[in-house]
Homo-oligomer: A and B are copies of this chain.
Amino acid sequence: MKINFKHISIIGVGLMGGSLAMALKAKGFKGKITGIGRNRKNLTKAKRLGIIDDYTTEFNEGVKNADLIVLAVPVGQFEAILKNIRQNLKNGATVTDVGSVKAQIVKRLEPLMPKDVYFVGAHPIAGKECSGVTCASANLYQNARCIITPCPHTNNAALKKVVTLWKTVGAKTMLMNPEEHDVIFSAVSHLPHVVAYALVNGILKVDEAILHHGGKGLRDMTRIAKSPAELWRDICSHNKKNILRSLKMFSSSISNITKLIERSDWQGLEKEFIKAREARQPLESD
């Protein structure tokens, strides 16, 4: 599989978008990569770092010649951006994204596509504790999984383009329907993020001045609470129903453990801990 398109425009040159550009160059992509964004300072930095070939803050200008447009800003901005650029998309162009939610995105963006332009959603399972273009790296997607969420009417050539893109940067692609994606990731990704934020705030409620006593365990557990708040606010609003359901299941686990401790049912508590310990084994094999 080889990339057969020449011009990629990335909207949002931060950790995810910047890493995609770097990875493409590292893997030998010879076409042009245009960075698009609102923050000129960030874009000039990306250009200076050699991550992008050129840049613009004029979204319509930046997309008009692109064969592939990648949305790499918080998901809450997708719709407004699409409404703005849709008239300027090239015939045969493909639009994709790197967002952590899929069903609502696909449902809202597909009807905005002009004739002969297709949207194919994608969610690379990769991240880092830091954000922004200075955090980007060429190997972020190496061996990462990337969920791609075509619909029954998705154009096959467009799907192939997006699959090729991610395979080129070293990701393991997997097709899934957008609704199934959102149920699964509400539990294995969105819930942990919300819990990490809640854990920090819960400790503050016990005592505002004790967080620094925490060790490596607490640091690792709350590392993902360093993610930009705007990003996770948008993800919560775009996957509200599933995240609420996952939160409900989690709260029931917490209340179950609380009751076992209240009743001094230490055998029951140990069983609960063992269940979790054994169930998380698959996470180690990555």
Contacts and interface: CB of A to CB of B under 8 A. Distances in A.
A214 interface: yes
Contacts of A270: 229-230, 233
Interface in A167-215: 183-189, 191-207, 210-215
A34 B273 CA distance: 32
Contacts of A279: 200-201, 204, 211
A206 B249 contact: yes
A279 to B, nearest CB: 5
Interface of A: 125-127, 144-145, 183-189, 191-207, 210-227, 229-230, 232-234, 236-237, 240, 243-258, 261-262, 264, 266, 269-270, 272-277, 279-280, 282-286
A20 to B, nearest CB: 17
B237 A266 contact: yes
For chain A, what secondary structure do more than half of its interface residues adopt (helix, strand, loop), or is it mixed? helix
A215 B249 contact: no
Given A254-B198, A273-B233, A283 B207 contact: no
Contacts of A215: 125-127, 144-145, 188-189
Contacts of A193: 217
A257 B187 contact: no
B252 A202 contact: yes
A202 B280 contact: no
Given A188-B218, A219-B283, A276 B200 contact: yes
B280 A226 contact: yes
A91 B107 CA distance: 77
Contacts of A192: 199, 214, 217-218, 221-222
Give the residue among A249, A255, A264 with the most B Cβ atoms within 10 A: A249
A280 B200 contact: yes
Nearest 6 CB-CB pairs, A to B? A202-B250, A229-B273, A200-B276, A205-B249, A212-B282, A187-B206
Contacts of A219: 283-284, 286
Nearest to A128: B216
A264 B237 contact: yes
A102 to B, nearest CB: 13
17 contacts: A125-B213, A184-B207, A184-B210, A185-B213, A191-B199, A196-B221, A200-B276, A201-B253, A201-B256, A201-B272, A201-B279, A202-B246, A204-B279, A212-B282, A216-B286, A247-B254, A248-B258
